[in-house]
């Protein structure tokens, strides 16, 4: 699932932490920030987010999916991931509620991309 948050005006790290996400580093090639949130007590399954922030336009570009398991081969990024479905949609709504400011005059808008 991919969506854009427009008019974002908050502290990204604090908001992601309040949504239950942990920072997982930045992609060296794309400069996307990575975050994850476990669905169980272990590392997998987990929600995984790639996020780009355009501060000049106050926009966030979010790509959300579920990693079902770890990569099978060391050094390979391939995994069992779900990019659609009810669980992913609900988590997208959860994130939208967290990333929307409480002040209705500053409310973010969302577009799928």
Above 60 in pLDDT, residue 31?
yes
Predicted TM-score (pTM) of this structure:
0.78
In this prediction, what percent of the chain has a pLDDT beyond 90?
36
Query: Is residue 44 within 8 Å of residue 70, measured between CB atoms?
Result: yes
Q: Residue 110: name the closest of 61, 67, 66, 45 by CA.
A: 61
Q: Give the mean pLDDT of 1-30.
A: 89
Question: Higher pLDDT residue, 81 or 23?
Answer: 23
pLDDT of residue 35: 96
How far apart, in Å, are the Cα atoms of 28 and each of 31, 34, 42, 67? 6, 11, 26, 20
How far apart, in Å, are the Cα atoms of 56 and each of 47, 48, 62? 28, 25, 17
pLDDT tens figures, 41-58: 888 899 999 999 888 888
């Amino acid at each position: 699932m991919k969506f854009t948050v427009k008019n974002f005006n908050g502290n990204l790290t604090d908001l992601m932490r309040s949504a239950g996400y942990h920072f997982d580093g930045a992609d060296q090639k794309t400069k996307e920030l990575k975050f994850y949130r476990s669905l169980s007590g272990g590392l997998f399954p987990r929600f995984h987010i790639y996020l780009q922030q355009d501060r000049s336009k106050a926009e966030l570009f979010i790509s959300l999916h579920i990693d079902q398991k770890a990569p099978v081969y060391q050094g390979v990024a391939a995994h069992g991931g779900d990019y659609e479905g009810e669980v992913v949609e609900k988590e997208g709504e959860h994130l939208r509620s967290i990333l929307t400011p409480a002040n209705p005059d500053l409310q973010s808008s969302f577009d799928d991309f």
